[in-house]
Amino acid sequence: MSFEEELYRENIMEHYRHPHNRGALSDATFKGVGKNANCGDNLIFSVRLDKTGEIVEEVTFQGDGCAISLAGASLFTDKLKGMKLSEVKLMAPGIMYSLLGVPISHTRTRCALLPYEALSDGITKYGK
């Protein structure tokens, strides 16, 4: 398999070029930031919970990054919508690898985990 097919699968490139859920969220319940120490890229995740405070109603992300982190953010926000907050809290970082579904090398781990870090930061700050 060629390298393009391996890491930059059509699916990843599609999410990179046309990311879902990108933008600001004015009525967010909480926000979190992920910083990639290797390149200075930042992602901000904004999450709005429903009236019960138990379900993720809306989630968006802002910021710039490489194909892996942006595609990851797009896929991850899709996944989060409609989830119970209690379930979200149980998710391990490994979820990012499953969502991306492509082999991630050691140097790209930071890129792959960036969306997860942004969300975790928000959850920690929210504290509930």
Give contact residues for another protein (rule: CB under 8 A).
Answer: 3-4, 7-8, 13, 38-41, 64-68, 105, 108, 111
Q: How far is the CB of 110 from another protein (least distance, A)?
A: 9
Nearest distance from C-beta of residue 38 to another protein, angstroms: 5
CA angle 49, 55, 56 (to 5 degrees): 55
Nearer Cβ to another protein, position 63 or 88?
A: 63
| Minimum CB distance to another protein smaller for 66 or for 99 | 66
CB of 15 to another protein, least distance (A): 14
| Helical H segments across the chain, by residue range | 3-6, 10-17, 67-80, 85-90, 95-100, 109-126
Cα 35 from Cα 40, distance rounded (Å): 6
